[in-house]
Amino acid sequence: MDIAILGIESSCDDTSAAVVLNGKVISNVTATQEIHEEYGGVIPELASRAHQKNIIPVIEKALKEASIKKKDISAIGFTQGPGLMGSLLVGGSFAKAWAMAKNIPLIGVDHMKAHVLANLIDKPKPSFPFLCLTVSGGHTQLVVVNDYDDMRVIGQTRDDAVGEAFDKAAKMLGLPYPGGPLIDQHAKSGNPHAFEFPIVKLPDLDFSFSGVKTSLLYFLRENTEKNKEFIAQNLNDICASFQHTLVQTLLHQLKRAVKKAEIKSICLAGGVSANSYLRSTLLSEAEKNKWEVFLPDFQYCTDNAGMIAFTAYHRFLKKNFTSLYVHSDPRLESFSI
């Protein structure tokens, strides 16, 4: 019998629904929320209202694209956490109501685990164990992945996530939210060595991005005091240099993690893994160091329900279901479910 999983993702500002049929993602539909652009960051109350507006059309579209009828859905997977409480509640309540009404299993998914497992959706894919560098707007983690249900964080950020550093830098440069992709774009025409920012190298496998963000703030303040047009005249070079610093910081700790974990099979996960400079730098490091690198398809890098439905499918196979009394958990500890 076919196993069809409907997945729902609503942890932050993307409303997404997907269908996984017998382990294959056959639809993956995401509605992004432009409303946050003018505020320079996600406004939680506006995000949950937009999720409420988007969730039904997004699910209808995902079912239509998959040519799946509601009655043929075997189970429903949803993002249980971490994320914004109001946002999580929209997807969570919808999933619970559906599971109850249709009397099918409910599967609460850890958003961070789903980001990691997104690497196993399409071929070529890594075999276990592999090392995953998860880089998103809320997290920066180095994870040893032994199996679908056996993952261990060996390093993480002590303050800001790398995506947050990208977005806050973009805000200082007058670029709209989310600024990460725009920095990536501008950097393509800039010189990564035009300006220098500190690369923070912590002695363990952790990261810190708050210092480099402050150093950009002081750098911009000092230079715009002397020349009001400084940012406009140097935007591409600033983006390229700041991006270079963030990527070098990530790679420095990744190299140490490879040695410590003795694993040479490496994956990226999370929104920042869409960054073209991170991808190309990682690939050239891999060639130098004889690492095997797997990069997720762009649609599975940023928040998406494909990865949620895929993770739920593997939980379904193990009959690892979630009670209808489950609570959404904005601070869900990584890999606890």
The residues binding Zn ion (CB under 5 A) are 136, 303
Q: Can residue 137 be called a binding residue for ligand KG4 (CB under 6 A)?
A: yes
- Are the C-beta atoms of 81 and 331 separated by less than 8 Å? yes
Q: Can residue 303 be called a binding residue for ligand KG4 (CB under 6 A)?
A: yes
Determine how β-strand 106-110 pairs with β-strand 130-135. Answer: unpaired
Task: Compute the distance between CA of residue 164 and CA of residue 95 in angstroms, rounded to an integer.
Answer: 29
How remote is the C-alpha of 3 from its chain's centroid?
26
DSSP 173: T
Return the number of the residue (59 or 274) whose C-beta is nearest ligand KG4. 274
Task: Compute the distance between CA of residue 169 and CA of residue 180 in angstroms, rounded to an integer.
Answer: 9
Binding segment for ligand KG4 (CB under 6 A), chosen from 31-39, 122-130, 144-152, 269-277, is: 269-277
Q: Can residue 81 be called a binding residue for ligand KG4 (CB under 6 A)?
A: no
**Beta partners for residue 9, in sequence order:** 16
In the list ligand KG4, Zn ion, none, the entry touching 180 (Cβ below 5 to 8 angstroms by class) is ligand KG4
In the list ligand KG4, Zn ion, none, the entry touching 167 (Cβ below 5 to 8 angstroms by class) is ligand KG4
Return the number of the residue (16 or 234) whose C-beta is nearest Zn ion. 16
Residue 213 CB, shortest distance to ligand KG4, in Å, is 13
Which one of 9, 184, 237, 329 is in contact with ligand KG4 (CB under 6 A)?
184
In the list Zn ion, ligand KG4, none, the entry touching 274 (Cβ below 5 to 8 angstroms by class) is ligand KG4
Return the number of the residue (98 or 168) whose C-beta is nearest ligand KG4. 168
Binding segment for ligand KG4 (CB under 6 A), chosen from 1-9, 123-131, 162-170, 229-237, is: 162-170
**Beta partners for residue 32, in sequence order:** 14
Q: How far is CA 36 from CA 44, 135, 186, in A?
A: 9, 21, 21
Task: Compute the distance between CA of residue 170 and CA of residue 71 in angstroms, rounded to an integer.
Answer: 45
In the list ligand KG4, Zn ion, none, the entry touching 272 (Cβ below 5 to 8 angstroms by class) is ligand KG4
Q: How far is CA 301 from CA 12, 230, 269, 272, 274, in A?
A: 14, 33, 6, 7, 6
Within 10 angstroms of residue 335's Cβ, the number of other Cβ atoms is: 17
Binding segment for ligand KG4 (CB under 6 A), chosen from 24-32, 100-108, 178-186, 250-258, is: 178-186
Q: Is 65 helix (H, G, I), strand (E, B) or coil?
A: helix
Q: Can residue 302 be called a binding residue for ligand KG4 (CB under 6 A)?
A: yes
Which one of 21, 272, 305, 337 is in contact with ligand KG4 (CB under 6 A)?
272
Instruction: State the first-to-last Cα distance of the chain, in angstroms, to the nearest integer.
Output: 27
> Which residues in this chain contact ligand KG4 in the complex, by CB under 6 A?
12, 136-138, 163, 166-167, 178-181, 184, 270-272, 274-275, 302-303
